[in-house]
Chains A and B, each alone.
Chain A
Amino acid sequence: DQQVKQNSPSLSVQEGRISILNCDYTNSMFDYFLWYKKYPAEGPTFLISISSIKDKNEDGRFTVFLNKSAKHLSLHIVPSQPGDSAVYFCAASGPGGAGSYQLTFGKGTKLSVIP
């Protein structure tokens, strides 16, 4: 049972335009959400996050929107640049064992920004 879903395996966008990556989740216990970016042969790097008490968080060209009622979040990149071409993972944080928190990842969306 996939608790975090990224339904688009890939996305192509022209340089300068907006990239919108989507993520859906099913577990209502998730209360913190993160986006990671991954280049080939490297580990994922943190991009941006949002707490469930907010509906928007912005950092430069990156904005994450959270719709709790729809259990949906999206990452907007404006303007898109060729260096943004990578795989983007959505992750959700919820209670794990022994009072800890555990991250659950989606399968990723490969973004290609075309010059």
Chain B
Amino acid sequence: KAGVTQTPRYLIKTRGQQVTLSCSPISGHRSVSWYQQTPGQGLQFLFEYFSETQRNKGNFPGRFSGRQFSNSRSEMNVSTLELGDSALYLCASSSDRTKQYFGPGTRLTVT
């Protein structure tokens, strides 16, 4: 099976702009989770989608949003970008609670 794919892999944006990141899960996986990784902060949970519904949400401001399509592909959107949003954004898919499979991530740089 193909793994989790994320596009784009690298992105440079300016403060105030918005950005959309895409994630294609492993075929058959209905759950998609998003994480933000910054230096020294580990992986911080953003949100999880299952069957097009947001099931869980982390402690991030409303500028961070997401959605999931009927084919389980997911997008996350960050509006009004701030310098502190520079991070590696990781997407993970799963079919059950015992394991999540991660994509390679999108490296976002905000200048």
Contact = CB atoms under 8 A, between A and B. Distances in A.
Given A43-B102, A44-B43, A44-B90, 10 more contacts: A42-B104, A43-B90, A43-B92, A97-B55, A98-B50, A98-B55, A100-B31, A102-B48, A105-B44, A106-B42
Q: What is the interface of chain B mostly: helix, strand, loop, or mixed? A: strand
Given A89-B43, A100-B55, A105-B43, A45 B104 contact: no
B104 A43 contact: yes
A18 B55 CA distance: 40
A103 B53 CA distance: 18
B48 A100 contact: yes
Interface in A83-105: 89, 91, 93, 96-98, 100-105
B15 to A, nearest CB: 25
A43 B105 contact: yes
Interface in A9-68: 9, 32, 34, 36, 41-46, 49
Contacts of A104: 45
B45 A43 contact: no
Nearest to B91: A43
Interface of A: 6, 9, 32, 34, 36, 41-46, 49, 89, 91, 93, 96-98, 100-108
A46 B104 contact: no
Given A44-B90, A97-B56, A102-B48, A108 B101 contact: no
B102 to A, nearest CB: 3
Contact of B99 (A9, A46, A97, A100): A46
B50 A100 contact: yes
Contacts of A34: 99
Contact of B42 (A89, A93, A96): A89
Contact of A107 (B41, B101, B103): B41
Contacts of A98: 50, 53, 55-56
